[in-house]
Amino acid sequence: MKIALIIENSQAAKSETVHAALTAVAEPLGHQVFHYGMYTPEDKVSLTYVMNGLLAGILLNSGAADFVVTGCGTGMGSMLAANSMPGVFCGLVIDPTDAFLFGQINDGNAISMPYAKGFGWAAELNLQDVYRKLFEGERGLGYPKERAEIMAKNRGILKDLKSVTCNDMLTVLKSIDQDLLKATVAGEKFQEYFFANATDEGIRENLKSVVSA
């Protein structure tokens, strides 16, 4: 699985800690981690929580990522922004129990975490435990097990509902403020990672024109 990490500007100082915890868990399980920034508070490209959501939508809908790990101070802003995108199902995850239940019940493709609230001593251990609950084993099995069938049915209903209430991602990219889009995809490693992994030709071509403009 291709996992994208996106860090918002107010929490950029914690980027190394979050990235290290994610790779320590995900890579031994056979997953690839792509860090799309921010990397430090001094980065030239500053990502807001709104941009986190837009970038999550781009990566997931293009096939550049299978799962997105993001967050902000409380985790709520990035979650709301991500869920405004087509095809993105993002949960607010604070602890390993949240991660387990989100993976088993909702089986979404993104999480948002609070990197300011409650981020204290041994925070990196909580991060590792969260990622372990997310990426170890099979997801979407349901919890409790006897409700697995109805949970899977509800996930399908939600997916169908979102396909009706949201425009497709290419329409979003053509319709949104182009300065916002350019700033969102201006990260240091965006082009390197995105064009090596994205499979949707329409989104690829659109973003080629954006980054070359």
pLDDT for the residue numbered 77: 98
pLDDT for the residue numbered 42: 96
Q: pLDDT tens digits, residue range 184-195? A: 999 999 999 999
pLDDT for the residue numbered 7: 98
Those residues of the chain that have pLDDT short of 50 are none
pLDDT for the residue numbered 139: 92
Cα(25)–Cα(140) distance, integer angstroms = 20
Cis preceding-peptide flag for 38 (omega within 30 of 0): yes
Q: pLDDT tens digits, residue range 36-58? A: 999 999 999 999 999 999 999 99
Task: Please give the C-alpha separations between residue 212 and each of 82, 91, 144, 191, 208, in angstroms, as whole numbers.
Answer: 25, 34, 50, 10, 6
Domain ranges of the chain: 2-212
The architecture in CATH of the region 2-212 reads 3-Layer(aba) Sandwich (3.40)
pLDDT for the residue numbered 213: 81
**DSSP calls for the chain:** -EEEE---GGGGGGHHHHHHHHHHHHGGGT-EEEE-S--STT-SS---HHHHHHHHHHHHHHTS-SEEEEEESSSHHHHHHHHTSTT--EEE--SHHHHHHIIIII--SEEEEESSTT--TTHHHHHHHHHHHHHSS-----SSGGGHHHHHHHHHHHHHHHHHHS--HHHHHHHS-HHHHHHHT--TTHHHHHHHH---HHHHHHHHHHHH-
pLDDT for the residue numbered 201: 97
CB of 41 closer than 8 Å to CB of 183: no
